Amino acid sequence: MNFSEIINHLKANGIKIGIVTRSKKAYAEKLLELYNYDYDMLISRFSCFRTKPFPDPFICCA
C-alpha cells in the first residue's frame, strides 16, 4: 500500500487524519491539495506556541 492508499483506507473506516508540519500553513495546504490528500486537521508552524520537538503540536492535533 502506498501513502495515498493508506490515507484513503483510514478515511473509509472513519479514522480522522491529522497532519503536523513545521512548514507554513499555506505551503502545506498547497502541497496536500496537489496530491489530493484528505485530512481533518492541519497543525502548522504557527498553530502552537511551542513547536517540534515539544509535544504541543501533536497534542493540538489530537
Read off the pLDDT of residues 11-22 as tens digits, 9 standing for 90 and up: 999 999 999 999
DSSP H or E run through 40: none
pLDDT higher than 80, residue 52 = no
pLDDT interval class at 51 (50, 70, 90): confident
Helices (H), the chain: 3-12, 25-34, 56-61
Instruction: Please confirm whether the linkage preceding 57 is cis (ω < 30° from 0).
Output: no
| 53 compared with 43, residue with greater pLDDT | 43
Confidence (pTM): 0.80
Q: What are phi and psi of 45, to 5 degrees?
A: -50, -40
In angstroms, the CA 33 to CA 1 distance is: 20
Q: Specify the CATH architecture of the domain 3-61.
A: 3-Layer(aba) Sandwich (3.40)
